Chain A
């Protein structure tokens, strides 16, 4: 019998898989980026079904919001066009598609056969922001602080890498008037 939970899982899962396949089929990067946003929004729905409210909100705000805006910004900035296929990529398609289909079927078969079918109840584990925050600032305080250093390094690295070669120092080309 189909419960509401199962129906919602199937709907969100169908949207996620359709978006992921569309990402592969599309040839223009902007279409791929938009279908990836659809995948992330559908996954946020799955997180809500699992009771992870905080993770669902962060998924929408950080992933579908911030990171994908960065992607779309770079696609627009570089004026990326339709990709062209070469001999190597045709070989990759011919070998990769059957290989990954076989791998997925194997993983699905093992999961369905051996991982048991204990159901995951709705809201059994409330992942409210308060609970996550308490865990984050008590038990996981050191990793949290280390990630802040990581973010700082990433900011500096992005600025250095994306700056003009003349402004980065070193043997830069001097422009004489």
Chain B
């Protein structure tokens, strides 16, 4: 028997690590992975609340979050490939202009 708050604290730690990675990382792929880490943290709190309130809809929401994350990963990585093709760098400090 684990209290609900333990799951929420773990979820908060994972989300905070994701935000921190988004801030301090300079590689565009690692920044993208930090976003996935944030999504995973939120998914954990969804499942914990679903178990706590006996509402299966929470698990269905996690399913939808995963679908959106998959679509986002496909499009985002295509954008990264496109950026690399035109700028020949993955460092976001050197990608600071919209026009080429």
- In the bound complex, CA of A24 to CA of B16 (Å): 11
Residues of A within 8 A of B90 (CB): 78, 80, 83
- Cβ-neighbour of A46 out of B10, B12, B29, B72 (below 8 A): B10
Interface of B is mostly: helix
Top 3 nearest A-B pairs (CB, nearest first) are: A119-B1, A154-B71, A161-B78
Interface of A is mostly: helix
Rounded to whole Å, the gap between the CB of B27 and the closest CB of chain A is 4
Report yes or no: A97 in contact with B56, Cβ–Cβ below 8 A.
Answer: no
Interface positions of B (Cβ within 8 A of A): 1-10, 12-14, 16-21, 23-27, 29-30, 32-34, 36-37, 40, 43-44, 47-48, 50-52, 54, 56-57, 59-60, 62-64, 66-75, 77-82, 84-85, 90-91, 93
Residues of B within 8 A of A125 (CB): 50-51, 54, 56
Contact pattern, A 111-142, Cβ under 8 Å of B = 1, otherwise 0: 11001111111101101000110011001100
- Cβ-neighbour of B77 out of A49, A70, A116, A159 (below 8 A): A70
Contact pattern, A 1-33, Cβ under 8 Å of B = 1, otherwise 0: 001011001000100110011011000010011
Interface positions of A (Cβ within 8 A of B): 3, 5-6, 9, 13, 16-17, 20-21, 23-24, 29, 32-33, 36, 39-40, 43, 46-47, 49-52, 54-55, 58-59, 62-63, 66-67, 70-71, 74-75, 77-78, 80, 83-86, 88-89, 92-93, 96-97, 100, 103-104, 107-108, 111-112, 115-122, 124-125, 127, 131-132, 135-136, 139-140, 143, 147, 150-151, 153-155, 157-162, 165
